[in-house]
Structure 1
Amino acid sequence: MCIVFLCDSEERVLGTKHATGNCPYCGGAVMLTDVESQLRLCFLPLRFKTKRRYSCTRCSRRLVLYP
C-alpha cells in the first residue's frame, strides 16, 4: 500500500505583456501572464508546468480562450 500526499505547491510569475484584443465584459486591454507552477512532495520537486493566463487590466477578470 502506497500513501502519497502533496506537501507544497508554488507558483512563480515569469513575465507579463499586453495581448491583442479587448475584454468582452468591459472593453479593457488584455494582459498575458506566463506562470510556472511547481508541485513538491516535501522537499523533492515533482513537476514543473508553465501556463499562460489572460486577464483584463480594467476589471481584473481571468479570461479563457476557446479555440
Structure 2
Amino acid sequence: MVLTAPLKPVNGQIKIQVLLDKSSLEVFGNDGERVITTMLYPDDKETGLSVFAEGKAKFEKLRIWNLENRRK
C-alpha cells in the first residue's frame, strides 16, 4: 500500500510528523496542511518502516518514542 499527499516546502523545508501504533498510522505534513490517516493490519513478521522522497531530501531531525505501556 502506498499513500501520498504532495507537499510544497515552506522556507525550503517540509515538516512531517508520523504517529504509528499496532494498527493505525497518522501522518501530518506541514503542521496539518496535509493529513493521512489509515488502519494497518500487519502480520508479526512485518517490523520495518520505510521513508522515501522524490528528488533530493535529507533529515534535519528524527525523534522516536516508544509508547509501550511499561506497567507490568
- TM exceeding 0.5: no
Q: TM-score normalized by structure 1?
A: 0.40
Which protein has the bigger strand share? 1
The structure whose Rg is larger is: 1
Q: Which has the higher contact order (CA 8 A, sep 6+)?
A: 1
